[in-house]
Amino acid sequence: MKRRILSLVCFIIVAAFQLQASEKRDYLQKAADINKLKEVLVMNQEWVPYPDYTDRAGWDKFLGEYKNGIIKDGEQYLGFDWKVVKATDYLAYERTGNRAIMENPLGANNKALGALVVAELAEGKGRFIDEIINGVYHLCEMDSWALSAHNGSLSKTHRALPDFREKILELTQGNMAQMLSWTYYFLNKEFDKVDPVISLMLRKELQERELTPYMQLTHFWWMGFEITSANTMNNWNPWCNFNALTCFMLLENNKDVLAEAVYKTMRSVDLFINHVKADGGCDEGPSYWGHAAAKLYDYLYMLYMGTGGKISLFDKAQIRNMGEYIVRSYIGNGWVVNFADASARGGGDAGVIYRYGDAVNSDLMKGYAAAKNLENPVKPTTNWLDMFRGLETMRFMPQLKAQSPEYTVPTCTWYPETEFCYLSNKSGMFLATKGGYNNESHNHNDTGTFSLYLNTTPILIDAGVGTYTRQTFSSERYSIWTMQSNYHNVPMINGVPQKFGSQYKATEVKANPKAMTFSANIANAYPEEAKVEKWTRSYRLGSNNLKIEDTFSLKETVAPNQVNFLTWGKVDLSQAGVVTIEVKGEKVSLKYDKNQFDATLETIKLDDPRLSNVWGSEIYRLSLTAKQQTKNGKYTFTVTKI
């Protein structure tokens, strides 16, 4: 990718962000009340931007060079052995914590049906219809479309097995409802040629599984209507509301009913937009951008189309900021800033990044998407569960290919409300730091942590998160090492790590783009037993080095302080006071005061593929343990490019 550094961009962004405090913005409800909504809704699916099933020339043009590949992909599912999700597959989540036992067969069915539907749209000869009917019948015979893990968290019984007495509205259930709504929209007349009961059954199931419960129920936490202090909005809100909006727009042709449903989604999504800081930072990390900000884009674009462009938030600075986050968090060569449960590998879907950038008029996003597309060309999805996003990728492919492939990255990106700061220099060093608090969505106890990259290679790292199990989202979450502060690049104070909770947070968070500095008092991120009055962690990025300082004041000394750094590659501790780290040809030295610290290196074996696929078989924790216990002091660490 072509990468240009623009130092002035940072100052413009900071000024714009600081003018926008977090507030009850309610942008959607201010854009239209329910009466205006009734006036502007586009009825009878006239908003749909795709060809009708029978428009063969339209589909040939729409799919272009990808038509034959889509048909070939669908052909492998002719005669598909539709998988049974057994009761014991659901129960496995309770018994072992394993989600995949239930999710894998369901996912295989969903992938097969989506591929068959789009192959039939591409070919239009009826060759796939019977197998599509098999899939529709199979899925409609399931008692629930919700995942076992989500049944366990959302049902009244908190059991993994579906309970026929209640309907659960969640991510996969909503995705399936969306895909099947598109299936109904495109193919209901073709189904009728076989037997009208097929369409009648599918429409009935969609009504009972999505439309009716969405209108009747308000208690799901992701809706936000009955939110408590223990809850927080996250990617579930725009994602589930987008699925609901899609289903209503495709299936409901009574204007009063449709308006009521659409307005309910608007009230709910407003709560998510209100929750997100005006600076647009995604506290869930880049891995969740596609489900958070990008799902908000999908929702807003669906609403835009469904109202003939009369309801639009694409001129709002916050919406643009949320989109650009994914570009600003990209390091290069497939690496991203990965706070929270995010992976260090990623960079987003170039197709949706381009479309989002086009909607908010962001040259940064469009140029980045085009450059990413050159490196790894966007192709049709092989999993059409998110039917809308897959079809939109095809619709915008010509514009993406025509876009000039360059983007600009500022020397500094500062999110003053989310408290993320990214700094880079001409030597190829990129520093990502955060303040924040220890109850962010998909939280890790990592207030004050940082990651350091050299020429796009991670050097001092955030490990990320392992494969999700029952433990991941339970009271046992912080028994997992990846969630703990002592396995992030922050200190253990008096031998005590940070603690989970909204009250455990950074204070006095400051960034100075001109001086290339970031600092935060992280004392409040630790519990009372840490006996800490103040602990200021500061970073200064120089021309070829990073200086880290810990200035502290303790109420009393209980145990030696321990400053931890996570890394990978080749680590050499043979010289006291200097740690040499070499990763993929990039080399740095980390200098510390040998009179203050003893250095040890812990090898962390990575048996979980979600971690080992990123870092290899092991990573390392460098621990610098203070030789003396003092109530007041300063530690200095300097990382220099070699």
**Can you tell me the distance from the alpha carbon of 401 to that of 324, in angstroms, rounded to the nearest whole number?**
20
Residue 6 has pLDDT above 50, yes or no: no
pLDDT-based confidence at residue 9 (cuts at 50, 70, 90): very low
> Which residue matches tokens 């200021």?
536
- pLDDT for 231 equals 55
**Can you tell me the distance from the alpha carbon of 209 to that of 207, in angstroms, rounded to the nearest whole number?**
6
Residues 198-225 have a mean pLDDT of 97
| 15 Cβ neighbours under 8 A, 6+ residues apart | none
Report yes or no: 83 and 220 within 8 Å, Cβ to Cβ: no
| 514 Cβ neighbours under 8 A, 6+ residues apart | none
| 482 Cβ neighbours under 8 A, 6+ residues apart | 444, 463, 464, 465, 466, 611
Name the packing angle between helices 350-360 and 363-375 (round to 10°).
160
* Residues, the chain: 642
**Can you tell me the distance from the alpha carbon of 115 to that of 383, in angstroms, rounded to the nearest whole number?**
7
Spans of all domains in the chain:
419-641
**Can you tell me the distance from the alpha carbon of 238 to that of 296, in angstroms, rounded to the nearest whole number?**
5
Strand, coil or helix: 257 = helix
pLDDT in tens, 484-523: 999 999 999 999 999 999 999 999 999 998 899 999 999 9
| Of 13-22, 122-131, 325-334, 508-517, minimum mean pLDDT range | 13-22
| 595 Cβ neighbours under 8 A, 6+ residues apart | 627
Question: Is CATH 2.70.98.70 correct for 419-641?
Answer: yes
Amino acid at 431: L
Q: What is the DSSP letter of 222?
A: G
pLDDT in tens, 287-309: 889 999 999 999 999 999 999 99
pLDDT in tens, 342-399: 899 988 999 999 999 999 999 999 999 999 999 899 999 999 999 999 999 999 999 9
Where is pLDDT greater, at 14 or 251? 251
Whether this model's pTM surpasses 0.85: yes
Report yes or no: 241 and 269 within 8 Å, Cβ to Cβ: yes
Provide the greatest CA pair distance for the chain: 84
**Residue 558 CB: number of other CB atoms within 10 A?**
15
- Provide, rounded to the nearest whole percent, the portion of the chain with pLDDT above 90: 89
623 closest CA partner among 465, 497, 480: 497
Structure tokens, 30: 């201010």
Report yes or no: 639 and 588 within 8 Å, Cβ to Cβ: yes
- pLDDT for 406 equals 85
Report yes or no: 512 and 422 within 8 Å, Cβ to Cβ: no
Residues 39-51 have a mean pLDDT of 98
Beta-bridge mates of residue 332: 335
**Can you tell me the distance from the alpha carbon of 628 to that of 595, in angstroms, rounded to the nearest whole number?**
9
> Which pairing describes strands 2-5 and 406-409: parallel, antiparallel, or unpaired?
parallel
**Residue 45 CB: number of other CB atoms within 10 A?**
14
Residues 271-277 have a mean pLDDT of 94
Radius of gyration of the chain (CA): 26
> Which residue matches tokens 């455990």?
504
> Which residue matches tokens 């854009």?
31
Residue 20 has pLDDT above 60, yes or no: no
pLDDT-based confidence at residue 285 (cuts at 50, 70, 90): confident
Strand, coil or helix: 519 = strand
Helix (DSSP H) and strand (DSSP E) numbers for the chain: 20, 23
| 380 Cβ neighbours under 8 A, 6+ residues apart | 63, 66, 69, 70, 73, 118, 390, 393, 394
Mean pLDDT score across all residues of the chain: 94
419 closest CA partner among 12, 26, 24, 22: 22
Report yes or no: 592 and 627 within 8 Å, Cβ to Cβ: no
Structure tokens, 106: 């369901």
**Can you tell me the distance from the alpha carbon of 189 to that of 186, in angstroms, rounded to the nearest whole number?**
8
Residue 453 has pLDDT above 70, yes or no: yes
- pLDDT for 77 equals 98
Strand, coil or helix: 502 = strand
Report yes or no: 153 and 94 within 8 Å, Cβ to Cβ: no
Residue 16 has pLDDT above 60, yes or no: no
pLDDT in tens, 390-431: 999 999 999 999 999 987 667 899 999 999 999 999 999 999
Strand, coil or helix: 79 = coil
CA distances from 16 to 11, 223, 545, 622 (A): 9, 30, 30, 39
- pLDDT for 229 equals 54
**Can you tell me the distance from the alpha carbon of 149 to that of 214, in angstroms, rounded to the nearest whole number?**
20
**Can you tell me the distance from the alpha carbon of 220 to that of 243, in angstroms, rounded to the nearest whole number?**
15
- Provide, rounded to the nearest whole percent, the portion of the chain with pLDDT above 70: 95
Residues 48-71 have a mean pLDDT of 98
